[in-house]
Amino acid sequence: MSKKAVESIYDALFSLTDIRVILRSSAPNHILNLEEKEAVRNAILRVEEDIRTMRKELIE
Amino acid sequence: MKCGMGPEVRDLEEVSINLDPIQAGGRLTADAMKAVIAYGDGYSVCDHCVRPNRLDYIKKPGIEQFHKDLAGFIGMDQVRVVPGARRGFQAVARTYICKGDPVLVTSLSHYTEFLAIEESGGIPFEVQAGEDRIVSADAVAETIEEVIRREGRNPQLFFLDHVDYQFGNFHPVRDLIKVAHTYDIPVLYNGAYTVGIIPVNGRDIGADFVVGSGHKSMAAPAPSGVLGTTSERSDEVFRTTKVRGDRTGRTFGIKEVEMMGCTLMGVTLIGMMASFPHVKERVRHWDRELSNAEMILGSLLSIEGTEVLSEYPRRHTLTRVDTTKSFDVVAKKHKKKGFFFTSSLKEKGITGIIQGATRVWKYNPYGITREQAQYVALSFREIAQENGLNTI
């Protein structure tokens, strides 16, 4: 069992959800303010980290 | 894009501002979306269901506590989650209405209240709203007296919508409930457009039952809702099973008849629970929502010929307008006919208004940001100006 891979899946999906919500609140033009840009940047960083964990846990 | 091999992705909320009057308060919070991801499987909240094996007793996840918190939130003694407000109406109707019983509704009542009465064999009597499209205490008293004259007895129940779905008008529920109670008529407060949107306290209002809609006003997946009642009524509407199998002798514990045992057993409940802290917070910011709604309506009313059919000034975000003398004038000459208006809105990334509507239509800007409200307000005026209508 890879608990880390499972946690990474949920964490990544939740981070992507945070971005989804920003897409909603900035529709239809998706012009983000500084705070929203920072939130998206952080969410992407978390997703990238989660992908690295999944790669390590499940493939390598 | 498809959901795998399943249906198309619904990205309406991500690509546009959705003003659909019934969808606004049901949009999920981020936490509800996350909970839905984790609890998508069928009986996902039932992993730790132990005796007495009933949904509202489950401690992990904290469903038992949620029921207590929800009861406090709507000011009732007992609550159950139900698959939509209509199932709350149905449970109360089946408990109190017998064949031929007169039942009060209003001329602005939702159709599902009529269906709940019909299913129970009752006969609906409508209290007529006044010319101002508000139900008055006098009208309730007159209708009750009329029912007594015609039927020889009191109505058995009164379905009362605090905010009606047609105009989004507030009705004076405290006064109306007082009148009904002088005739010993129990009142079901329909909070489909209030519970989860504004603070509601059933005890203060004097309601015998409070029904709310999860998917309409509590940022929860459909079908979900809440039925709350007083300790005096809870043993009636939440009565437990007494039946026994004639061959097996089986009995069914403390399952509740009107709830058909357990109700919301997966994403509906967990979504409602995940949104709940945010819902409790958002009801405190109704003024912000009204301010956005006021700006959008102000923009519409600045278009010559446009009228508001809802009570004015607005006290709710759901609003009905008449653009027969503005956008419908354009529609008569436009190559797209009545579809020019919603088509123009769509081009600007605004949806949710009935396609082709240019005469009487409803919208609800609840939940959008200030920037989005400004964009919507500007867009209405731009469409008017682009089509030769005068703006003030």
The verdict on a CB contact (< 8 Å) between B348 and A28 is: yes
How does strand B209-213 pair with strand B225-229?
Answer: antiparallel
Banded model confidence at residue A1, pLDDT cuts 50, 70, 90:
confident
Interface-testing mutation among B351, B372, B374, with chain A (most A C-beta atoms within 10 A): B372
Query: What DSSP designation does B2 have?
Result: B
pLDDT at B66 over 90: yes
Q: Give, for A48, the enclosing helix (H) or strand (E).
A: helix A34-54
What's the mean pLDDT in B332-361? 97
The verdict on a CB contact (< 8 Å) between A21 and B33 is: yes
Nearest-CA residue of chain B relative to A33? Answer: B371
Q: Give, for B106, the enclosing helix (H) or strand (E).
A: strand B102-106
Q: What is the dihedral of CA B19, B23, B26, B32, to 10 degrees?
A: -80
The verdict on a CB contact (< 8 Å) between A10 and B30 is: no
Bridge partners of B362, per DSSP, are B320
Q: Rounded CA gap, B128 and B388, in Å? A: 40
| B230-259 pLDDT per residue, tens | 999 999 999 999 999 999 999 999 999 999
pLDDT value of position B352: 98
> Which residues of chain B neighbour A36 with C-beta distances below 8 Å?
none
What's the mean pLDDT in B174-193? 98
Tokens 């519970």 sit at which residue?
Answer: B195
Q: How many C-beta neighbours within 10 Å does residue B60 have? A: 11
What's the mean pLDDT in B290-297? 98
> Which residues of chain B neighbour A8 with C-beta distances below 8 Å?
none
ipTM of the complex: 0.97
Q: Rounded CA gap, B264 and B179, in Å? A: 35
Interface-testing mutation among A16, A24, A30, A33, with chain B (most B C-beta atoms within 10 A): A24
Q: Which of B99, B147, B150 is nearest to B127 (CA)?
A: B147
Banded model confidence at residue B137, pLDDT cuts 50, 70, 90:
very high
CA–CA distance from B178 to each of B95, B137, B172, B214, B244 (Å)?
Answer: 22, 9, 10, 27, 41
> Which residues of chain B neighbour A32 with C-beta distances below 8 Å?
none
pLDDT value of position B109: 98
Q: Rounded CA gap, B188 and B202, in Å? A: 10
Instruction: Give the list of residues 6+ apart from residue B193 with CB closer than 8 angstroms, or none.
Output: B25, B161, B162, B163, B164, B165, B168, B216, B217, B316, B318
Which domains, and CATH codes, for chain B?
A: 12-23+285-386 (3.90.1150.10), 44-264 (3.40.640.10)
DSSP conformation letters of B265-306: -SHHHHHHHHHHHHHHHHGGGHHHHHHHHHHHHHHHHTBTT-
Q: Rounded CA gap, B293 and B316, in Å? A: 8
Q: Rounded CA gap, A31 and B240, in Å? A: 55
pLDDT value of position B155: 98
Helix, strand, or coil (residue B88): helix
Cβ neighbourhood burial of B41 (10 Å; 0-12, 13-18, 19+): exposed
Bridge partners of B229, per DSSP, are B78, B209
> Which residues of chain A neighbour B14 with C-beta distances below 8 Å?
20, 23-24, 27
Q: Give, for B339, the enclosing helix (H) or strand (E).
A: helix B339-347
Structure tokens given for B23: 């969808």
Cα of A12 to nearest chain B Cα, Å: 11
Tokens 């500007």 sit at which residue?
Answer: B378
Cα of B352 to nearest chain A Cα, Å: 14
What's the mean pLDDT in B11-27? 98
What's the mean pLDDT in B291-318? 98
| B367-378 pLDDT per residue, tens | 999 999 999 999
Within 15-54 of A, beta carbons closer than 8 Å to B belong to 17-18, 20-21, 23-29
Q: Rounded CA gap, A46 and A39, in Å? A: 11
pLDDT, chain B, mean:
98
Q: How many C-beta neighbours within 10 Å does residue B238 have? A: 20
Helix, strand, or coil (residue A2): coil
Q: pTM, whole model, 2 decimals?
A: 0.97
Cα of A25 to nearest chain B Cα, Å: 7
| Whether B261 contacts B239, CB under 8 Å | no
Query: What DSSP designation does B101 have?
Result: -
Cα of B41 to nearest chain A Cα, Å: 15
In this structure, is the dihedral angle defined by the CA atoms of residues B373, B378, B380 and B383, taken in order, positive or negative? Answer: negative
